Amino acid sequence: MNLTHPFLDLDGDKLREECGIFGVIGAESAVNVTALGLHALQHRGQEACGIVTFDGKEFYAQRGLGHVASVFSGPELANVQPGAMASGHVRYSTTGGAGLRNVQPLFADLASGGFSIAHNGNISNAMTLKRELVRQGAIFQSTSDTEVIIHLVATSRYPTLLDRFVDALRMVEGAYSLICMTENGIIACRDPLGIRPLVMGRLGDAVVFASESVAFDVIGAEFIRSIDPGEMVQVDHNGTVSSHRPFGNVSARPCIFEHVYFSRPDSVMDGRSVYAVRKQIGVELAKECHTEADVVIPVPDSGMPAAIGYAHESGVPFELGIIRSHYVGRTFIQPSEGARHADVKRKHNANRAMVEGKRIVLIDDSIVRGTTSKKIVEMMRDAGAAEVHFRVASPPTTNSCFYGVDTPERSKLLAATMDTKAMAEFIKADSLAFVSIDGLYRAVGEAGRNGKCPQFCDACFTSDYPTSLTDNADRESHDLLTLPVHKVA
């Protein structure tokens, strides 16, 4: 769940992101570095977090439900054993549901020794693999798709751990960035299409890995490079770094929604400033679907860069027409529908002086179910707006994501069931328009979308999924039920 988008979360009306991972080896106080790195990645997952450390002899783990600041406050952090190697994870549950047993990094004692794994992404054939592993006698301790990888590594017959790890990953499909720790060091890897992000840096003599470059800014590390799609980077306790590319050369398909919404705007994603891309999306919006208006207003906070770009390109003044309170809890945890709706009003207030009597252009990053957008428009009407024109800094979200983003089923996506005119009527806007898929690609520095070989994963907009979706196909074809899982207190 994203800290940077406060209009959360009326009936799941915002795309909830995947997770964030962090790892360090060779640091004097790896656990403190990891906790600080996780703070920087908090926007990627706010349900739970965990840290696993290695002191040269033993692995230690601490996990908890909630934000990093609460789970790893002073006393709790002091209880985590020190060591020069640690990895961490912030989580929003996509596969497996909430609960402490699914909090990562996961850890297991294998025949070769301790093995921990932190995963960002989603394995789209996890249930198929799990059924076969259970038939072979595997006993699962969580409902997370990540645990499938541990069992595949444990049952592989290859002689070395690295070979067993490669063997396991050859069997999975979907999206993953992984940070794994063994007694010999860290292995960081990215799926062959590079759907989920992963970057590498240095902090003195230590090597660090993270989902986003902003984590390096926060801990004072130097950004080195992105991990390439399909690459495995191995770092031992002497600081020796080796790169392995066991999956050959595959055309990369990184998630384009990282640029639209998920990543922090102060991150650099695959060589591109996320903030600059979001501003450019606003420029493309103004070029493609400008309308006569008196003021451009962002939906805080994720609509801010695109609104700046739109205003600059169109010449329409930018104003803060919605003021956000930073001291109200997340709306999605409120116990009743009425309480959630009231909480939106406590969290946001229309800036009437900038709205009343004016034709306004509202800029937001996406529309999912449309319920939140409808309430924003209503807020502007109540504040006296003469006209409300809604502009969206992404194409219509018409398809579910199976790569680690929690999207509603397709039938509940507004753009999958209505055309743009009907959507405008639903949210009660005077007009509604989305940036085109080619406009989005231009904003990230491409000439346009290459239909034969797209440069990004954009399946949520186009239904062009870059991998097989085995579990989903099974559900649709055979209505297979998930395996029963015993309850853990």
CB 16 within 8 A of CB 2: yes
Dig out the tokens for 50 from the structure. Answer: 């965990």
**Whether residues 247 and 282 fall in one domain:** no
The reply to whether 472 falls in a domain is no
**Whether residues 211 and 337 fall in one domain:** no
- Give the CA radius of gyration of the chain: 23
**Whether residues 211 and 279 fall in one domain:** no
Place of tokens 């504040």: 383
Dig out the tokens for 344 from the structure. Answer: 């939106």
HSE (CB half, 13 Å, CA atoms) of 285? 37
The reply to whether 329 falls in a domain is yes
E strands within 148-273?
174-182, 185-190, 199-203, 206-210, 222-226, 232-236, 241-244, 268-269, 272-273
| Whole-number pLDDT of residue 88 | 97
E strands within 227-340?
232-236, 241-244, 268-269, 272-273, 295-298, 322-324
| Whole-number pLDDT of residue 11 | 45
Quick: pLDDT tens for 293-315.
999 999 998 899 999 999 999 99
**Whether residues 193 and 94 fall in one domain:** yes
Continuous segment of H or E residues that includes residue 360: strand 359-364
- Can you tell me whether residue 214 is helix, strand or coil? helix
The reply to whether 59 falls in a domain is yes
Amino acid at residue number 53: T
CB 422 within 8 A of CB 381: no
| Whole-number pLDDT of residue 333 | 36
The reply to whether 484 falls in a domain is no
**Whether residues 329 and 395 fall in one domain:** yes
| Whole-number pLDDT of residue 4 | 33
CB 258 within 8 A of CB 46: no
By the 10 Å C-beta count (0-12 exposed, 13-18 middle, 19+ buried), 140 is classed as: middle
19 is catalytic: yes
Q: What is the pTM of this model?
A: 0.90
**Whether residues 371 and 314 fall in one domain:** yes
CATH of the domain at 305: 3.40.50.2020
DSSP letter for each residue of 106-140: EEEEETTEEEEEEEEEEETTHHHHHHHHHHTT---
Give the separation between CA 53 and CA 82, rounded to whole angstroms: 7
Q: List the domain range (segments joined by +) for residue 112.
A: 19-254
The reply to whether 483 falls in a domain is no
- Can you tell me whether residue 274 is helix, strand or coil? helix
The reply to whether 260 falls in a domain is no
Dig out the tokens for 109 from the structure. Answer: 């004692």
**Whether residues 23 and 134 fall in one domain:** yes
The reply to whether 7 falls in a domain is no
Place of tokens 């997340």: 330
> Distance between alpha carbon 122 and the CA centroid of its chain, in Å?
11
Ramachandran sector of residue 56 (left: φ over 0; alpha: ψ -120 to 50; beta: rest): left
Q: Enumerate residue ranges in the chain where pLDDT < 50.
A: 1-11, 330-340, 479-489
Q: How far lies 298's CA from each of 91, 165, 228, 282, 304, in Å?
A: 28, 45, 34, 11, 5
**Whether residues 337 and 212 fall in one domain:** no
Give the separation between CA 328 and CA 29, rounded to whole angstroms: 34
Give the separation between CA 443 and CA 285, rounded to whole angstroms: 10
Please pick, among 19, 49, 189, 255, the residue that the annotation labels catalytic.
Answer: 19
Q: Indicate the residue among 224, 254, 284 that finishes a domain.
A: 254
**Whether residues 248 and 290 fall in one domain:** no
Q: Indicate the residue among 211, 227, 254 that finishes a domain.
A: 254
As a whole number, the mean pLDDT across the chain is 89
Domain count for the chain, please give it. 2
Give the separation between CA 363 and CA 297, rounded to whole angstroms: 6
**Whether residues 244 and 299 fall in one domain:** no
Residues in the chain: 489
Give the separation between CA 466 and CA 309, rounded to whole angstroms: 31
CATH of the domain at 197: 3.60.20.10
- Comparing C-alpha atoms, which of 14, 99, 66, 4 is closest to residue 332? 14
**Whether residues 354 and 409 fall in one domain:** yes
- Residue 130 φ then ψ, to 5°: -65, -40
Amino acid at residue number 158: Y
The reply to whether 267 falls in a domain is no
Place of tokens 């306004």: 360
> Distance between alpha carbon 341 and the CA centroid of its chain, in Å?
25
Quick: pLDDT tens for 199-257.
999 999 999 999 999 999 999 999 999 999 999 999 999 999 999 999 988 889 999 99
**Whether residues 76 and 151 fall in one domain:** yes
| Whole-number pLDDT of residue 343 | 53
- Helix, strand, coil shares, percent, the chain, to 5: 35, 25, 45
Other C-beta atoms lying within 10 Å of the C-beta of residue 142: 20
Ramachandran sector of residue 176 (left: φ over 0; alpha: ψ -120 to 50; beta: rest): beta
